[in-house]
Amino acid sequence: MYVCNEDFNNKEASIVLSPKNSVMTSGFFQGVDQVRGYDGDSRPILRVSSPEPFGLGQPEGIYFDFTSFDPRSFENPVASAILSVTSVSGGFNADADIENPFLVSAHGLSANPLLAIVDDTNPSGMMSAVEFESTHILNIVSSASVDSLGLVTFDVTDLINDWIDEKNSNYFIALTGREDGSGSDFLHGFSNNSEVPGATFLRVEQIPEPSALILLTIGSLALLGHRSRGMKLFHPDSVSL
């Protein structure tokens, strides 16, 4: 979903995108139900974990589905793209806090997890959630130290520009705790946007078109000129005693 917040010569300067799906995988999940959190799954909380929580080989992670993203909507690289997620309690008394912060990182993907992972929603998938997590999550794009509840932001500008340049056509963002080195066992929660609309959003700030920049520059110069003339009128040296 695209929401325009501002307009420069009919070119959107700020766009807000919501994920189509927000899902998670976990070492705790058993059987064929390996990908959970789809719309209607009644899972209002998703979790991100430390690398091997409570001795499990596979951590927990979240995948945000932005496959409605259309790179053709952008003529130029964007100035910034900020992913905002809502930190909540994970419900297992293993949340981060001020005394025990949790380093969560955002990543691009090299494959679509909803198509690649074998699951009851996708029995024709090619691999387990464990294999996908270990092979298709790319290097860190951004990280944030989570120590409280509320909004947490990640700067994913470089990833979105890769989408626009078609260097990466997998329009997903993953959240993991793989870089956390605290030694704690975290199972920190984040609101599931599929169940709590607005809990996750991607704000993209576009670079204004050249014509808009020209108008802004002319306006700024005119304002400076007006101020300069005003200063001359009231400059002490111009007052006769």
First to last CA, the chain: 67
* pLDDT class of 190 with cuts at 50, 70, 90: very high
- pLDDT at position 221, please? 54
pTM of the complete model: 0.82
Amino acid at the residue 69 = F
Indicate whether 106 pLDDT > 70.
yes
Give residue 126's Cα distance to chain centre: 26
Average pLDDT over every residue of 171-178:
97
Element of type H or E holding 161? helix 157-164
121 secondary structure, DSSP code: T
pLDDT in tens, 23-50: 999 999 988 899 999 998 999 999 999 9
Q: Which of 23-37, 44-58, 107-121, 203-217 has the lowest mean pLDDT?
A: 203-217
Indicate whether 232 pLDDT > 60.
no
DSSP string, the chain: -EEEEEEETTEEEEEEE--SEEEEE-TT--TT--SB--TTS---EEEEE-SSGGG-SS--EEEEE-TT--GGG-SS-EEEEEEEEEEE--SSS----SSS-EEEEEEEESS-HHHHB-BTTBTT-SB-HHHHHHHSEEEEEEEEEE-SSEEEEEE-HHHHHHHHTTS----EEEEE-TT--S----EEEEE-TTTSTTSSEEEEEEPPPHHHHHHHHHHHHHHHHHHHHHHHHT-GGG---
